[in-house]
Structure 1
């Protein structure tokens, strides 16, 4: 079974993904794939420097994520995010497909694979995958801003810019068959995830 997991930035999606992994899911974290592609020697480095300049690199030759974010989300960079996505998305999808191949190499049909994709709605038509279920984790924008300021060191303006760069909640909810409230307690979120995982396992057994 293949499940898509998404949610607005700082919505609680990572907490849900961690619980799914705890419950036995194989989680493919697209943020981690992006990190791999921003390390020194990655095939993405040349294209990123060609477009955004060598100032986005750190001392080791990898991408300085703060410097890149400043360029992409800074004033006067309306086309920068689209350019970044055009460079990164195909490479990320290739890595995700490779990871699926590794997971399935044992020939078992019992794998429950979760694709943790922050920008699922934005890339849905580009993905080389289709999902049996899609889960979105949502929380009020005010709470998400507070989390980003408190835990990620962002200013309020930076947090609002990140939220504005993503599709709104309605689009994520429209493609999802499960919605998890990321403003509830961790215990409540875990209970919902545990229940979902049990129901999906039963569904797999029936098939």
Structure 2
């Protein structure tokens, strides 16, 4: 088994890389998806969030108001650290369970947006970092997600820098072309470096 950590800043193209790796046969474990699952209704994670943040981050129907929680944690470092202390251990435990269930010869890719911030680089055989020019990332967040430029810049500022990510990279993919070019780079990397 080859255990790969995949990371990149918001709107860098990391999800496109993960999708291509899955298409090529890798077992992709999506930390964002797991982060939603571990705070689903009825989970211990959701109860911990209610205890830590109160009713202000919940909708009237009792579901988690992700927009309210996001606005809170991306504007307050202490609140973000509190949320991470709740969610990260739960996500890591579930990711470990999924990795253990993979075949021995599998290429297992953990897609972790906050891999650098959470100090997990040493857990992996190889780390793959996706980067894109800041102006392209801002444009994608505004056009694709409907965020304001200020929101986009705030999200980028709350994450590790490109230099911090590059420092832990075994493989660095620069996403400054078309989707097809990115997919071709991923396919080449998979065949030459990962799927051995």
Q: TM-score, normalised by structure 2?
A: 0.93
Deviation at 1:28, TM superposition (A): 0.3
Aligned-residue RMSD, C-alpha = 1.6
Correspondence for 2:129:
136
Correspondence for 2:17:
16
Correspondence for 2:71:
70
Find the aligned partners of 2:78 and 2:23 in 1 and give their Cα distance: 39
SS at match of 1:173: helix
Equivalent pair of 1:121/1:172 in contact (CA under 8 Å): yes
Find the aligned partners of 1:30 and 1:80 in 2 and give their Cα distance: 20
Deviation at 1:59, TM superposition (A): 4.7
Give the 5 Å matches for 1:124-203: 124-125=119-120, 130-200=123-193
The 3 A distance-change label for structure 1 pair 201 and 144 is closer
Deviation at 1:54, TM superposition (A): 1.4
Deviation at 1:38, TM superposition (A): 2.2
How many corresponding residue pairs? 195
SS at match of 2:117: helix
Give the 5 Å matches for 1:74-93: 74=75, 77-93=76-92
Equivalent pair of 1:41/1:62 in contact (CA under 8 Å): no
Q: Which runs of 5 or more structure 1 residues have no equivalent in the other structure?
A: none
Deviations 1:95-123 (A, max 9, x none): 1011112224xxxx211100101011111
Equivalent pair of 1:52/1:71 in contact (CA under 8 Å): no
Q: Which runs of 5 or more structure 2 residues have no equivalent in the other structure?
A: none
Correspondence for 1:41:
42
